[in-house]
Structure 1
Amino acid sequence: MTTLHIEHAVTDFETWHSAFERFAPARTEAGVLEYTIRRPSDDPAYVLIDLEFSDEAHAAGFLEFLRTRVWTTRDNSPALVGTAHTRLLETVHTG
């Protein structure tokens, strides 16, 4: 299992979330098995997203899609501030 972990600031959570939901078909097509959205309790203008994939190749492919097709266009990524911080994480243990 590989997680694509994304963090970034947003100007308006509801605007960002609406855009996120528009890409549900793309997530499904890319192999996202499930996702989690979190916000720090002391910073509602920041989001942390974990997208779960069966393997690293699918996660890396979707990250490339985000970098080249989503985050480069303001219409596709309204409310984003600055550059997203991303990591591909391998699950080594759960409890």
Structure 2
Amino acid sequence: MPTLRIEHPIVDFALWRQAFDTFAEARSQSGVLRHRIMRPVDDDHYVTIDLDFLTTDAAQTFLQFLQTTVWSNPQNAPALAGTPNTRIFQPVDDDR
């Protein structure tokens, strides 16, 4: 199951979460199966998001949507501070 990992600085977590929640339907329609939001214990102004997909193509398509529709428009990403770092991962071992 491919995972799109996104990391970036934010100005305010509550504002960021509100914007994230706004795109719940877009995530669902794009094939996001589940998400995980993580924050460093020593940095309230940074967030990491893992989005799981069935295919790498779906992850790449959603990443393009984020880049062209969400992150490029300050109204859609009001808490974004800086450029997100992204990678798509493919698991090689999972002990669940």
Q: TM-score, normalised by structure 2?
A: 0.98
Q: Matches of 1:40 and 1:15 in 2, distance apart?
A: 17
Q: Matches of 2:14 and 2:2 in 1, distance apart?
A: 27
Q: Matches of 2:35 and 2:79 in 1, distance apart?
A: 20
Aligned length: 95
What percent of counterpart residues are identical? 48
Q: Matches of 2:15 and 2:94 in 1, distance apart?
A: 33
Instruction: Flag structure 1 segments of 5+ consecutive residues without an equivalent.
Output: none
The structure 1 segments of at least 4 consecutive aligned residues displaced by more than 2 Å after TM superposition are none
Residues 6-85 of structure 1 correspond to what in structure 2 (within 5 A)?
Answer: 6-85=6-85
Query: Where does residue 86 of structure 2 map in the other structure?
Result: 86
Q: Matches of 1:39 and 1:93 in 2, distance apart?
A: 24
Q: Please identify which structure carries the higher strand content.
A: 1
Q: TM-score, normalised by structure 1?
A: 0.99
Instruction: Flag structure 2 segments of 5+ consecutive residues without an equivalent.
Output: none
